[in-house]
Amino acid sequence: MRRSVLAQLLLDAAELGIRLYEWQRRWLDDESLFRALLKSRGVGGSFIIALEALTESLLRQESLILLISYSQRQSLELFRKVKWLLEMLGRATLTWGGETYRSIRLASESKTQIELSSGSRIISLPNNPDAIRGFRADHVYVDEAGMFRNDFEIKSAIVPSIVGRTGRLSLVSTPKGRRGWFYEAWSGGVFSRHTAHYAEAAHISSAELQGLRATLTELEWRQEMEHEFLDEANAVFPYETILQCLYDEADRPPTNPTYMGVDVGRLRDSTVVTLLERLDDGTLRVFHIQELRGLDFQSQESIILELAKTHNPISIAIDKTGIGLPLYESLSRKALGVEGVTFTHNFKEALIATLQSMIRGRRIAIPADSRELINQLRTFQRVETGTGGIRYEAPRGQHDDYVMSLALAVGAALKRLTTGTAVKRVWNWP
Ligand SMILES: Nc1ncnc2c1ncn2[C@@H]1O[C@H](COP(=O)(O)OP(=O)(O)O)[C@@H](O)[C@H]1O
Ligand SMILES: [Mg+2]
């Protein structure tokens, strides 16, 4: 039986009302040992991995299937998809060609592993090469392969685990630049290539697409939705340097002095709050990022005050240019340490230069799950102006709120490192 037929049968038995898309059927029926799926965001890449893993474990007795994700949280989320499908299947029976098969049953289950009645195991792991090396897998899936901060290490951990037993390897990802394992696999000629564009995923509504259009920068849109492997040429923060700053300890509460940056929304009407702590070695660890979108002034303020109450930041740097002014004025009456800053051209450039050197020096730690921030950093550009000057910005103006929010928090934290210097002097970095 073709894999796509069995997979559809599973979906029908689970009564999910889901019909596989054309690209999903082609993907499932491709028997190649090495496959790569280049996809837009949200089309069902993780879903098809979860479904295929279950299908495989039905087809092959005692198979071992590894699902690898770029962070702990992503790994749990992907595993939830597998468990959700299993749960929906419940005690349903599969009927095919006049015969009835008993459905998959769960034999045992832990946080990262399920074992099925067929003796097959599905194991979901974050990007820990040592954990991966312990397995000899029949099929390894790497979800969002472009997002791994250590993708070549992962590659060398995975490859020996599948060779010699006709194991298969599948990479699924949105593009993340002309670099890294996924790009190499995509352009190298060994992998069987598949694409999944948002136009081939009917569950993504046009309202959703419009929303994404409005919130993503032009470059982000081309990368996240239109399959474009972006060039690094104009990047202010080269992707490799961003990846070096990522850490994966979701939700570790701060134990050191904290600082807050608030970028007040303009074009897309959203305010972004970034909180970081200064570790003993001087590293600035981002531990909370929150986008306040579609909220009125009052609600934004009360969320910011609540965060300030919880984390007690030493200072809160807030953009008081234009639309930010009322929020700044009101906050500065209600919280301690509020520093209003005016975004002049020079100031912004200095702030970005500081952030750039902190990232280059690996002196910032960013949660691996902060997808929006990572994407915005990655697409933040150096633009040459007609007069020979240089401007830093996200393409199309102001969609740089995550970056500026981080830059403000970093500015706030560094000010405390230079004794007795006035805010203005530190921020007018040469
Ligand atoms: N063939 C399909 N028909 C309807 N919905 C689908 C189909 N395939 C996937 N989906 C849904 O698409 C949504 C996004 O899937 P996900 O796997 O998280 O996307 P991605 O990993 O590509 O970002 C999920 O809610 C999933 O149930
Ligand atoms: Mg996914």
For residue range 222-248, list pLDDT tens digits in order: 999 999 998 887 789 999 999 999 999
C-alpha of residue 48 to centroid of ligand 1, in Å:
8
Query: Which of the residue ranges 44-48, 207-211, 321-325, 393-397 has the most confident prediction, judged by mean pLDDT?
Result: 44-48
pLDDT value for 394: 54
Find the ligand nearest to 37 CA.
Answer: 1
Q: Mean per-residue pLDDT for 377-393?
A: 68
Find the ligand nearest to 39 CA.
Answer: 1
Give the pair of three-digit tokens for residue 325.
């002014």
* Residues 358 and 284: beta-carbon distance below 8 Å: yes
Whether residue 119 is predicted with pLDDT greater than 70 in this model: the reply is yes
Q: Is 85 in the pocket of ligand 1 (CB under 6 A)?
A: no
Whether residue 397 is predicted with pLDDT greater than 50 in this model: the reply is no
pLDDT value for 162: 81
Q: Round the CA-based radius of gyration of the chain to a whole number and report it.
A: 24
Ligand 1, atom 5: closest residue by C-alpha? 203
Return residues with CB closer than 5 A to ligand 2 (ion): 45-46
The CATH T-level fold of domain 3-204 is Rossmann fold (3.40.50)
Q: Measured between alpha carbons, how far is 47 from 51 in angstroms, rounded to an integer?
A: 6
Q: Write down the domain spans for the chain.
A: 3-204, 239-427
Q: Mean per-residue pLDDT for 155-166?
A: 83
pLDDT value for 392: 56
* Residues 420 and 405: beta-carbon distance below 8 Å: no
Whether residue 284 is predicted with pLDDT greater than 90 in this model: the reply is yes
C-alpha of residue 220 to centroid of ligand 1, in Å:
20
Which CATH code of 3.40.50.2300, 3.40.50.720, 3.30.420.240, 1.10.1040.10 fits the domain covering 239-427? 3.30.420.240
Q: Is 39 in the pocket of ligand 1 (CB under 6 A)?
A: yes
For residue range 74-96, list pLDDT tens digits in order: 999 999 999 999 988 876 777 77
**Pure H helices in 95-203:** 129-133, 151-162, 180-188
Give the pair of three-digit tokens for residue 179.
């670099």
Percent of the chain with pLDDT over 70: 89
Ligand 1, atom 16: closest residue by C-alpha? 44
Amino acid at 14: A
Q: Report residue 270's pLDDT band, with 50, 70 and 90 as the boundaries.
A: confident
Whether residue 301 is predicted with pLDDT greater than 80 in this model: the reply is yes
Distances (CA, A) of 362 to 64, 147, 244, 247: 37, 18, 7, 11
Q: Is 20 in the pocket of ligand 1 (CB under 6 A)?
A: yes
Q: Measured between alpha carbons, how far is 80 from 73 in angstroms, rounded to an integer?
A: 10
Q: Is 229 in the pocket of ligand 1 (CB under 6 A)?
A: no
Summary mean pLDDT of the chain: 88
C-alpha of residue 6 to centroid of ligand 1, in Å:
18
Residue 386 vs residue 425, higher pLDDT: 386
C-alpha of residue 384 to centroid of ligand 2, in Å:
36
Q: Is 28 in the pocket of ligand 1 (CB under 6 A)?
A: no
pLDDT value for 72: 94
* Residues 116 and 123: beta-carbon distance below 8 Å: no
pTM listed for this prediction:
0.85
Domains 3-204 and 239-427 are alike in CATH topology: no
C-alpha of residue 205 to centroid of ligand 1, in Å:
12
Query: Which of the residue ranges 19-33, 250-264, 326-340, 397-411 has the most confident prediction, judged by mean pLDDT?
Result: 19-33
